[in-house]
Amino acid sequence: MLAQLDDLASLTRIDTSGMLDQMTSFPSQLTSSLRATGRRDIEADTVLVGGLGGSAMGGDVLAEYMAMNSSAPTFVVRDTALPRWADERTLVILISYSGNTRETLSMYGSAKDRGCPTVVITSGGRIMEMAQQDGRDVVHVPPGLQPRAALGYLLGSAAGVVESAGLAPMASDIRPFVPELESLMRDLLPGSPESNNAAKQIARRLLDSVPFVYAPRPLRSAATRWQTQINENSKMLCLSGEAPEMDHNQIVGWIDGDRDPRNRPVMLLPRSGQCQATSLMRTTIELLMEHGIDTVVADLEGGSPLESALHGIMLGDFVSYYLAMLREVDPTPVTSINELKSRR
């Protein structure tokens, strides 16, 4: 029997590790990490954000924002080394919530060898020890969370770094709409009934499916976040892509190919007029539906791509949580990731 999403006792029984409490701290994490900081004496022409998994997600949001609001090209590196062009004019922001991510530790050594100005964002671990020994800038965030549930701290800290370096006013741009995130969260919490709760409704539609989540390029991070949260919290396969790129390849697979009825497109549609791909996505949605493809459309509030991305991230987090509840799996453990790490 499927879990009843409006039955709070049932949800508590399944969520034995308390993922819900960690998820709901997202707005307060942003508020805490966005406190004004002084100017950093950094001169940089480019920015690299290094990290893996949940620790890298804040870098994705930052890179999208920087593409539209800064003259400094910004890239996210999910690897063990930096690109060869990284040098003393490259600001390197290394994010490892645990502080012990093997790949990020390797990137730290690469940044040190290149003479890159480096800021480390972490809750502790080996990378904090190394950075402190080398006199590097460390932004310490509170420990005790799953890395994927610490996004508010990690993103807010990264936004503060680029603003304090004079590269973009990202922290200042996020602060005004944190109250809107808090309002959105109230509509997504378990106490909000399924009849009025978008996350519960979408989760029920995605149960027993393989979601393919798409978003316009300026908020591609939201689609990536849906993918990784459904992977980890819901223990389901989920893939993601972006518009308008999907209209030049994946649309053929959806419409012209042999479809598996379990595959389900999910379109993250921002209401902000600042995303030019939105109108193209509407046309794509119409085409998919005309061909009988059950398409989930998630409308995202927000007056800017950044605000819409954060709304999308929060909605996706709750969708992944309710999917876990419907499947009756504890969203917190990631057994296969831990097993893989133990074999390295």
Name the residues annotated as catalytic. 232, 248, 341
Q: Which residues of 149-175 are buried (b: 16+ CB within 10 A; e: fewer)?
A: bbbbbbbbbbbbbbbbbebbebbebbb
Query: Closest Cα to residue 299, out of 272, 265, 264?
Result: 272
Cα 333 to chain centroid, rounded: 18
